[in-house]
Structure 1
Amino acid sequence: MIHGVAERVVSQDEVLARLSSLRSHRAGGTRSPHKPLLVLLALGRLSATGTSEVPWATAVEKLADLIRDYGPPSSTQPAQSAAYPFTRLRSDGIWTLDRDVPMDRVRPLAAGAVVGRLEPLLEEALRNADLAASAARLLVEAEFPPTVAPDVLAAVGLDPDVVLGAAGREPLRRHRSGSWPAAVLEAWDRQCAFCGFDGQLGAAVVGVEAAHVRWFTFGGPDEPDNGLALCSLHHKLFDRGVLGLADDLRIAVSARYTSRTPAGKVVYDLHGRPLRPRPGTTPPAAVHVDWHSEQVFKGPALTT
């Protein structure tokens, strides 16, 4: 046990319940993965170094990058974005700082070289590798779709194969429709709505997937007006915010996206291309397109 800490064991159920409470910090479908990203970063450091300590100097660089790359679009300065979860996570009872500093203030964090870490009893419990993997899986699956979750885990220093194979996680509160993916692929002629890729292996579609416009984890329904058939590449780019949809259902490419090779530059050619669903296919609803534009797409779009 950690010196000076009462001899109490935090159970696996308590650990997962305390971390699950972070999911409640969202309203109206607004994404706010800042606290889960900080906990995942701390879990990555615990796995690599034996301690969950995250110095502010690391947070202002690493955590700020995670929020920029995997959070919703924001004009907030990087250091300020990192300061919010770094100071506010204390109120959830799972994070401590080595000195008292005001909420949200960047200057005291830098001046004091403040260090944060998981609450000691929680950290001790999470030294169990299986429990840590289950905790990481719970957090990442609650905040990100399957196309993005492995990237987030790798970015914080956790092995995606280990974490996403972890057992014992809390079951999903909502159950996905088993028929929705096939229905979406059929509606879009089993080809990518963005580029037209229509690969098959025998009679089976290969490399084309049913994509939610509004993520399932944020209330996106398994309905025709929330689905697109996308090739694996464009599904990934759509969920990462490289690609989006304008109000008139033309494809938008983020101005933040860059490429140096002809293969990568092909993505630029998608900008402004209209969706062309077959007659009778339900196009994405405006409410879902608006959510994706506000919460996922890394605007602004390229200029035409």
Structure 2
Amino acid sequence: MTEAGGDARSLWSRSLGVISAIGPPITVATALLVYFGWARANAQAEDMGLDESLFGYATQDYILISINALYLPLVCILVAGVVWLALDRWLRRRIDEGRHQELIARVAGIAALAAVAVAGTGLLLAIGQPTRAAIFAPYVMAVGVLLAAWGLRLRRHARAGHAPVLSVEERAVEATLVLSIVTLLLFWGTADYAQAVGRGLAASFERRVESLPRAEVYSEKPLGIGVEAVSVTNVGTSEQPLYRYGGLRLLVLSGGRFFFLHDGWTTEEGTVVVLPDDNSIRVEFGN
């Protein structure tokens, strides 16, 4: 076995050891999906004046609603990863062929310094203006850390040629630290993005409340809905009263409860009507 082959296997062994310590990939991915789904649901509920626990979401529900919050970040990360991999292979091929080694080393060093400045700027934005920069600052810092580490490794490779500058253990520690920092930053940014998606959904209901399914609720007993936009009519008789409530729009059916908005609902002054999904009421839906 060659020394390079032994180094590669040793590096892979350490990487697999780190992954095993954290947990199986499927378990970690499921936990992340649940958390991001909860972050989206919690932000949406808060903007609507509710508590997220009222919806009674199950684990499967959190996973499903997290997809909308993760789709764009994952696509961007995967596209950036493909571009980075192609560029890295192209530059290393030039270095291995002995072409433009000095130029690549110089540019890589400058890029590493610029990346450190970018990461620092993102950190200052996150500290100084957390409400405005919370979504983008963690991603900016993650890109800065990755570019800085990549630039330094390219510079070492170009300066030293094929001879490794660092030992396998040192490279493993360096890679672990960089990946840990980047993972935490991506987790931070994606959680903030999921919350922004939830707040955006709450605001969108205000604009499109009239497009939600129209609902009429029938009950033999008064429900005591104290919302002016909700009309109540007794369509029964004096012996058998039947109350019909109109002006409602179905938001969601979850956790054994109906969640209704009313015509003209807003995040500032609107009221969310919550009724049980049982035999005490009958609901009719329409366009």
Q: Do the structures match in fold with TM over 0.5?
A: no
Task: Give the TM-score normalised by structure 2.
Answer: 0.22
Greater helix proportion: 2
Task: Give the TM-score normalised by structure 1.
Answer: 0.21
Which protein, 1 or 2, shows the higher relative CO under an 8 Å CA cutoff with sep ≥ 6? 2
